Chain A
């Protein structure tokens, strides 16, 4: 009963918030509703008893969206609406139709629910974190390691892109010091 109420509450809120993310013309509303929606998705994991995944969802997306905010801060005036360029109507129609199709398939999937079986059921007595760890380091070891290598590649690429003028300080303007010295000399 409580789970039902919580589920519908979280569902309505999540869908509503993500709608705001898509529809809103204001960067601040869009980002904030995205963050709130991501936090609320962790609620579904908690309802399902997957505490560990819920908290991971919380921590990962809070950090990731915080980084997105910093880009929004650099590129947009957060208190103003953004003028959107209207792309071709055909593309909107196509993407909208595809999304609707996927949505219908997702809602229709539970009809076939007998075919779904838990391949890796929870172990009695073992915690959430242990169960996730066991699956991650046996069945899904290769994808896990490939993902790690991908992240490493992304990190090294980021360092190379950003690290061209690492030896020059951006905050200390050395030419400004020279100007001050010049003024002193003239006096």
Chain B
């Protein structure tokens, strides 16, 4: 049943051309970068309302133009490179974070597919796919690319000849070595059930409405994946890398201007990627058959994004040793037990 549906979807769609993929890549870059800027605004507003403040109010209606003001500030600020830093690595590090975040988005279905209307010159009738690069091992690729993204903070911290930076880099390493196991093991149980690593197959597996969503079959894996995802995107309660109260700004201490901004674009793009994975793997994804499928997945992604802000407003930070304790002594055994139970049920 699953495979026939997936094949049906594949054969039903028009041919994907390189122009379509190029347009898709440009769309992802433009829209996600803009969303990252908008994300900072939403984050400040949501946090403000949860803490009974107003948040940004002065620039434009309800402070909406604050994004533009912040953007102008970031672009025009002087790009300072510390004297004793390893200059090349210092300059490359933010690019790694931003680039890997967008490369990860290449294998994720981000927006619905569409065909450019034929009255538009040059590009008319071009089919723009929903996934820029539909790998049949999509989930692994995305997780691997997001893992590579942590080289950004690591190299930034190590290259800047700053004690806070090196503490941030050390924390990056331990955070990566802690959560990585949990991410992989937690998502393994759903992969076993679906029998595929492709996002399209995951979507097809849950095509029969809310009752067939993976979250009902794998609630433990869902919670574990969310917790590991928070660690992966450096969100509170696991934002050890740039914990203001302890390490000034951690790996980002010496950064300013657009290089600093690139870290944030990468972080917000990663938040969106984790939201997309959670929505597709556990919450049914996009409903390919109905006409509002694109709307439901947008709502699911928005919900997970909001959840990250909500958790930030509600929970305190954890210490690095608490994170390691949590990941290795609680979450990893839970994930292994979950896999064992799933395997036993599947064998029976």
Residues of A within 8 A of B (CB): 26, 28-29, 32, 35, 39, 51-52, 55-56, 58-59, 62-63, 66-67, 69-70, 73, 78-79, 127-129, 171
Contacts and interface: CB of A to CB of B under 8 A. Distances in A.
B135 to A, nearest CB: 6
A59 B147 CA distance: 7
A127 B154 CA distance: 35
Given A51-B137, A79-B86, A69 B154 contact: yes
Interface in B186-237: 196-198
Contacts of A58: 141, 144-145, 148
A55 B140 contact: yes
A127 B143 contact: no
20 contacts: A28-B86, A29-B88, A32-B92, A32-B151, A51-B141, A55-B140, A59-B143, A59-B147, A62-B147, A66-B151, A66-B154, A67-B173, A67-B177, A69-B154, A73-B170, A73-B173, A78-B158, A78-B166, A79-B85, A79-B161
A56 B159 CA distance: 28
Nearest to B170: A73
B202 to A, nearest CB: 14
From A32, A52, A56, residue with most partner B Cβ within 10 Å: A32
Nearest to B159: A28
Contacts, number: 86
A26 B86 contact: yes
Given A55-B140, A66-B151, A70-B174, 19 more contacts: A28-B155, A29-B86, A29-B88, A51-B135, A56-B140, A58-B141, A58-B145, A59-B144, A62-B144, A63-B177, A66-B150, A70-B173, A70-B177, A73-B158, A78-B166, A79-B84, A79-B85, A79-B86, A127-B137
A63 B151 CA distance: 10
B137 A69 contact: no
A185 B140 CA distance: 59
Contacts of A70: 170, 173-174, 177
A107 to B, nearest CB: 30
Interface in B110-142: 135-137, 140-141
Nearest to A26: B86
Nearest to B3: A125
A69 B159 CA distance: 12
A32 B144 contact: no
Contact of A28 (B89, B150, B184): B89
A127 B138 CA distance: 12
A55 B137 contact: yes
A81 to B, nearest CB: 10
A69 B169 CA distance: 9
A171 B321 contact: yes
B102 interface: no
Interface string B312-325: 00000001010000
A55 B141 contact: yes
Contacts of A28: 86, 89, 155, 158-159
Nearest to B18: A2
B268 interface: no
A35 B144 contact: no
Given A78-B159, A79-B84, A69 B173 contact: yes
Interface string B147-183: 1101100110011010000100110011011001000
A79 B159 contact: yes
Contacts of A63: 147, 176-177, 180
A79 B156 CA distance: 11
B148 A32 contact: no
